[in-house]
Amino acid sequence: MVAPVAVAEPGASGAPQLPVCLLVLGMAGSGKTTFVQRLTGHLRRQSSPSYVIYLDPAIHEVPFPANIHIRDTVKNKKVMKQYGLGPNGGIVTSLNLFATRFDQVMKFIEMAQNTSKYVLIDTPGQIEVFTWSASGTIITEALASSFPTVVIYVMDTSRSTNPVTFTSNMLYACSILYKTKLPFIVVMNKTDVIDHSFAVEWMQDFEDFQDALNQETTYISNLTHSVSLVLDEFYGSLRVVGFSAVVGTGFNELVQVTSAAEEYEREYRPEYECLKKSLAGAQSEQQKEQLDCLRKDRGSVASDTGTAKESLSPALDPSDLILTRGTLDEEDEEADSDTDDIDHRVTEESHEEPAFQNFMQESMPQYWQRNNK
């Protein structure tokens, strides 16, 4: 039974507080979706409902209430057929198309800020799709420029008992930290399988980690030794939380979200506001170029793909594909749904954002009328 502990109370002033955006990242199978599921239920029990955005277009059913699901506007199988792509290419393209309309999502978050203290963003299982793509950068910067944003990196503790694997995982976390430039929390998940104390000791005691590494005699262990010298500095300022998404333990340690949100207000918000004032035009122009690049890139693919010629004219903006929701057989989609990262034992009914659905439904007649002239 989880003690009734609030996850965080961002800020202490009497002024209205902006919701804290928790951007959940992690390797496939690390349990990030189950983590979001457990955290959503915990916040609801604390009378602090969160606003949930789900960004994996390959998942048909989500085991928690999602206010906005990317599949409400982008059909992954439809995109794959439209552009002749494989599963990974379909996910990348779907996220790119969704990013071109992310300004609509930001408006819904702003409308919900009086009722939700937290905005949970669950990202695709293929972590590189989000962390190293233009669409992931656009979404991350859009959130961080308007709301306190914290990156939560979910790590599979049971698969990191080997010092080489552990170092690889931490190196990836370090790269994400320096790319996003946002407050960072590592959630060591699956502590019900193995306690995360060994990992904490490795991070705090360099000699203890070297002793474990000396048991490895391969070439990669020598490389790991060199990399660990760099990561030792990284560990000094890293927030670590032990958590079990299956059992539901570790919420007490998640109070570190508070200090992370305060760090954003203290160090990152002034930087974003300064950039807005000094480089507002350049930033908006750069983001416009990124969005145009996504559109043109998909447009060039459409012109070269036979399956796309039938439904897309050369003048059609590829981002308009978002408006074709509901045109694909749902059973076909469900058959290809990848739910390895979801715990279906605690499935809740999904409640997608009605306004977001209404927006798309109202836009569809205009879309068809414009392109059937």
**Domain locations in the chain as residue ranges:** 20-371
Question: Residue 125's pLDDT is what?
Answer: 84
Q: Residue 108: is its pLDDT beyond 80?
A: yes
Q: For the chain, what is the radius of gyration of the CA atoms? A: 21
pLDDT tens for 44-88 read 998 888 999 999 998 888 888 899 999 888 888 888 998 888 988
Q: Is beta strand 184-189 parallel, antiparallel or unpaired with respect to 239-242?
A: parallel
Instruction: Please state the pTM of the whole predicted model.
Output: 0.75
Query: CB-side exposure of 367: number of CA atoms within 13 Å?
Result: 19
Q: Residue 40: is its pLDDT beyond 90?
A: yes
Query: What does the block give as tokens for 151?
Result: 């990156």
- At residue 24, what are phi and psi to the nearest 5 degrees? -95, 115
Question: Residue 1's pLDDT is what?
Answer: 33
For the chain, how many residues are written?
373
Q: Into which CATH architecture does domain 20-371 fall?
A: 3-Layer(aba) Sandwich (3.40)
Q: Which residue has the tokens 């930087």?
A: 271
Question: Residue 61's pLDDT is what?
Answer: 82
What percent of the chain shows pLDDT beyond 70?
A: 69
pLDDT tens for 164-223 read 899 999 999 999 998 888 999 999 999 999 999 999 999 999 889 988 888 877 777 778
CA distance 242 to 247: 12
Question: Residue 222's pLDDT is what?
Answer: 77
CA distance 55 to 122: 6
Tell me the Ramachandran region of residue 28: left when phi exceeds 0, alpha when psi lies from -120 to 50, beta otherwise.
Answer: beta
Greater confidence (134 vs 346) lies with 134
Question: Residue 268's pLDDT is what?
Answer: 87
Q: How confident is the model at residue 237 (pLDDT cuts 50, 70, 90)?
A: confident
Across 93-102, 219-228, 288-297, which has the greatest mean pLDDT? 93-102
pLDDT tens for 241-295 read 999 999 999 999 988 999 999 999 998 888 877 766 665 555 456 666 666 666 6
What mean pLDDT is reported for the chain? 77
Amino acid symbol at 96: N
Going by C-alpha positions, the residue among 72, 68, 59 that lies closest to residue 322 is 72
Question: Residue 109's pLDDT is what?
Answer: 94
Q: Which residue has the tokens 């929390």?
A: 185
Beta-ladder partners of 126: none
* Three-state helix/strand/coil letters over the chain: CCCCCCCCCCCCCCCCCCCEEEEEEECCCCCHHHHHHHHHHHHHHCCCCCEEEECCCCCCCCCCCCCEEHHHCCCHHHHHHHHCCCHHHHHHHHHHHHHCCHHHHHHHHHHHCCCCCEEEEECCCCHHHHHCCHHHHHHHHHHHCCCCEEEEEEEEHHHCCCHHHHHHHHHHHHHHHHHHCCCEEEEEECCCCCCCHHHHHHHHCHHHHHHHHCCCCCHHHHHHHHHHHHHHHHHCCCEEEECECCCCECCHHHHHHHHHHHHHHHHHHHHHHHHHHHHHHHHHHHHHHHHHHHHHHHHHHHHHCHHHHCCCCCCCCHHHHHHHCCCCCHHHHHHCCCCCCCCHHHCCCCCCCHHHHHHHHHHHHHHHHHHCC
Question: Residue 372's pLDDT is what?
Answer: 53
- Which distant-in-sequence residues (6+ apart) come within 8 Å of 232 by Cβ? 206
Alpha-carbon distances, residue 174 vs 196, 266, 312 (angstroms): 19, 21, 41
How confident is the model over 133-139, as a mean pLDDT? 90
